Amino acid sequence: MPLFLKDLFRSRRFWVAIGGVVVVVLKDRLPFDIPEDRLIELSVLVGSWIVGESLRSSSLKVAA
């Protein structure tokens, strides 16, 4: 398996993004009801966390 795929599958950002997409796509089939505005807030929160982690990760590589 290529190194970038191993890194991708070990990445928390990747799995959080996958989880967010699954929740949005399957929102009607989930056993609990998520209001539309809560789903938007959750998506913004997940996206912000991913961007923040990416910026932090890239700044650590530049400083090293």
Domain annotation covers residue 19: yes
Domain annotation covers residue 35: yes
pLDDT at 30: 80
pTM (predicted TM-score): 0.73
pLDDT tens-digit series, residues 4-62: 889 889 999 999 999 989 988 888 888 888 888 999 999 999 999 999 998 887 776 66
Q: CA triplet 63, 9, 20: central angle to 5 degrees?
A: 95
Host domain of residue 37: 12-63
CA 39/CA 25 separation, integer angstroms: 11
Domain annotation covers residue 4: no
Q: Residue 35: helix, strand or coil by DSSP?
A: coil
Domain annotation covers residue 37: yes
Q: Determine which helix (DSSP H) or strand (DSSP E) holds 50, and give its type and residue range.
A: helix 36-63
Domain annotation covers residue 24: yes
8: Cβ contacts below 8 Å, ≥ 6 apart = 14
Question: How many domains does one find in the chain?
Answer: 1
